[in-house]
Structure 1
C-alpha cells in the first residue's frame, strides 16, 4: 500500500483553478482500482491518497496529475507494509 501525500506549492486560489481536472484525475485513479481513499489535509495545505498497485505506475500517474503538471502541488510517495487492520479493511493489506 502507498500513501500519496501532496503539499500545495501555491495558494488555495490557484489550486481551485485546477481542482476540476485534478478531481477528474482522482476519479480515474479510483476507476483504475488504484485509489482506496482520499481527502484534503486539515488545514487545507494539500491532500492524501491511500493507493495500491505498482510503484512505478503510481509515480507515473502522479506525474500526470494536473496539480503536478501546473506546479500546484508536489507529491511524496511512501510505501507502507500494513500488518494489522480492523475488520473490513483487509484489502488494505493487499
Structure 2
C-alpha cells in the first residue's frame, strides 16, 4: 500500500461552499472504506489536502476525478506519491 497526497486548489469559492456537503459525504464514504489516511482544508482558504492509501496513482486519480468538488468545477487537483518518514 502506498500513500498519495491530493492537493485541491480552490477554483470557485461559491461552488466550493455549495458542494461542500457532497464533497464531505464522498470523503466520509472513502474514509469508511479505509482509503483515506488524513484530510483537511488549508487554514488560508486556498484549498485542501487528502492523503489517500492506494496501490497506484491511477487508482487515486480515478477517485479524485469523482470527487464532487472536481466534477462541479469547484477545485482542481494535483496528486503526488507521498513517502511518510519516521523520526
Structure 1 stretches lacking a partner, 5+ long: 87-94
Relative contact order, CA 8 A, sep 6+: which one is greater?
Answer: 2
* 1:81 is the counterpart of 2:68: no
Q: Secondary structure at the match of 1:74?
A: coil
Partner of residue 90, structure 1: none
Once the two structures are TM-superposed, the CA of residue 51 in structure 1 deviates from its matched residue by 1.5
**Segments of 4+ in structure 1 off by > 6 A?**
none
Runs of 5+ consecutive residues of structure 2 not aligned to the other structure: none
Partner of 1:53: 54
Give the structure-2-normalised TM-score: 0.88
SS of aligned partner of 1:73: coil
Compute the displacement of 1:14 (Å).
Answer: 2.4
RMSD value over aligned CA atoms? 1.2
Max Rg structure: 1
The reply to whether residue 37 of structure 1 matches residue 38 of structure 2 is yes
Count of residue pairs brought into register by the alignment: 84
**Which of 1, 4, 7 is residue 5 of structure 1 equivalent to?**
7
